[in-house]
């Protein structure tokens, strides 16, 4: 790591360029790109501040990180290799070649015969599977696919009840009016004339640590929720869809986002002054091997880029929190600390109440 055209003193507003040369396990300079980095510029005095760098891959083993100097002080640079190019290739193969990495275990219950059975379910069905052997719960009109293995007992597909587990290959201003943490929550403030409604998205979702099974009939897809909303100038819709899709093929996530895009277009045709905000993915911790394989930063970053690509010409606010989470003063974590979430909310409110 070295400074490009180093100067004895820099001024606020200048660019600081950092050159990074990647090496292999034997210490030899690499001749190709594809490595995935986290970069950060930080200081503790006279102000405690941090920001991220924009990394350019020169595709020859060399990278340039660009930092805008926005405050005075003695600054430090942090460069972290999150995934080597070799690891990124493995992640790509897993994502693209293993369509059934996430398996949901769901229950079917025939109330007439009292027969019950648990079967495996997934958002993706492999090509060689006979569709007569599965129960299909797909909704093509909103770009959704979901399949379960058909029960062996004479139980109808419509008898699906709950999915309790997954296998992997309040603010004081508000008073709760109703709450079901596995599906939805509503909060109201008469003083501030605000009503909040939170709804959890449909599968895929991680429920292996849930206190109770996810009741299938209580879940709705984001597109369906948007279609049911009565919009207007005092209505704000916030979508945060990414974390539970990191263990899914990109095509699954892409199709859901297109379905949501179409729902937003339908909403704006009815209520053109409704604000829609999409909250992006953030950085994640990589403490264990499965974190790299299922919830890696590279997966999260690809999801963010896909969202921007699909929604780029739509009247939607992209609340990009990636750099904020990358530059925070905490260790990376899937669920950011409260002080970071506070800044997310502040940025959110800057769009709602400019």
Domain annotation for the chain: domains and CATH numbers: 2-83 (2.60.40.10), 100-163 (no CATH), 172-352 (3.40.50.1110)
Determine how β-strand 134-136 pairs with β-strand 102-110.
unpaired
pLDDT, one tens digit for every residue, the chain (354 residues): 999 999 999 999 999 999 999 999 899 999 999 999 999 999 988 889 999 999 999 999 999 999 999 999 999 999 999 999 999 999 999 888 887 777 788 899 988 888 899 998 888 776 667 878 899 999 999 999 888 999 988 898 999 888 865 554 433 333 444 445 455 778 888 888 888 888 878 788 765 554 556 677 777 899 999 999 999 999 999 999 998 899 888 999 999 999 999 999 999 999 999 999 999 999 998 888 878 888 899 999 999 999 999 999 999 999 999 999 999 988 889 899 999 999 999 999 999 987
Place of tokens 């594809």: 34
Give the closest residue to 84 by CA, choosing from 37, 136, 48: 37
- Planar angle of CA 147, 152, 155, nearest 5 degrees: 75
Cβ neighbours of residue 160 closer than 8 Å, sequence gap 6 or more? 106, 107, 108, 135, 137, 148, 216
Q: Residue 158 carries which DSSP code?
A: G
Does residue 131 sit in helix, strand or coil? Answer: helix
pTM of the predicted model as reported, rounded to 2 decimal places? 0.87
Helices (H), the chain: 85-97, 222-227, 250-270, 289-294, 297-311, 322-326, 338-352
Task: State CA 86 to chain mean position distance.
Answer: 23
């Amino acid at each position: 790591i070295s400074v490009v055209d180093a100067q004895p003193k820099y001024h606020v507003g200048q660019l600081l360029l950092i050159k990074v040369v990647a090496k292999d396990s034997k210490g030899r300079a690499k001749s190709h790109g594809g490595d995935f980095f986290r970069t950060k510029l930080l200081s503790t005095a006279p102000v405690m501040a941090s920001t991220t760098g924009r990394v350019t891959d020169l595709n020859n083993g060399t990278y340039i990180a660009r930092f805008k100097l926005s405050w005075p002080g003695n600054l430090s640079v942090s460069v972290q290799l999150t995934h080597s190019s070799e690891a990124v290739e493995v992640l790509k193969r897993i994502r693209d070649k293993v369509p059934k990495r996430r398996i949901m275990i769901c229950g079917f219950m025939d109330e007439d015969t009292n027969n019950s059975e648990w079967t495996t379910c997934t958002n993706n069905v492999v090509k060689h599977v006979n569709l007569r052997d599965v129960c299909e719960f797909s909704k093509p009109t909103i770009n959704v696919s979901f399949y379960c293995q058909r029960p062996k007992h004479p139980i109808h597909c419509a008898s699906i009840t709950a999915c309790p587990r997954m296998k992997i290959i309040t603010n004081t201003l508000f008073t709760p009016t109703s709450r079901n943490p596995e599906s939805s929550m509503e909060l109201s403030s008469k003083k501030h004339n605000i009503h909040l409604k939170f709804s959890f998205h449909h599968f895929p979702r991680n429920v292996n640590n849930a206190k109770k099974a996810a009741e299938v009939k209580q879940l709705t897809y984001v597109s369906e929720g948007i279609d049911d909303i009565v919009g207007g100038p005092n209505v704000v819709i916030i979508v945060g869809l990414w974390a539970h899709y990191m263990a899914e093929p990109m095509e699954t996530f892409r199709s859901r986002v297109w379905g949501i895009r179409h729902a937003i277009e339908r909403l704006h045709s009815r209520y053109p002054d409704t604000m829609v905000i999409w909250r992006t993915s953030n950085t994640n911790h990589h403490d264990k091997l499965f974190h790299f394989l299922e919830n890696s930063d590279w997966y999260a970053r690809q999801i963010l880029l896909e969202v921007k690509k699909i929604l780029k010409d739509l009247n939607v606010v992209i609340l990009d929190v990636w750099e904020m989470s990358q530059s925070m003063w905490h260790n990376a974590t899937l669920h950011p600390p409260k002080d970071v979430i506070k800044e997310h909310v502040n940025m959110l409110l800057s769009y709602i109440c400019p």
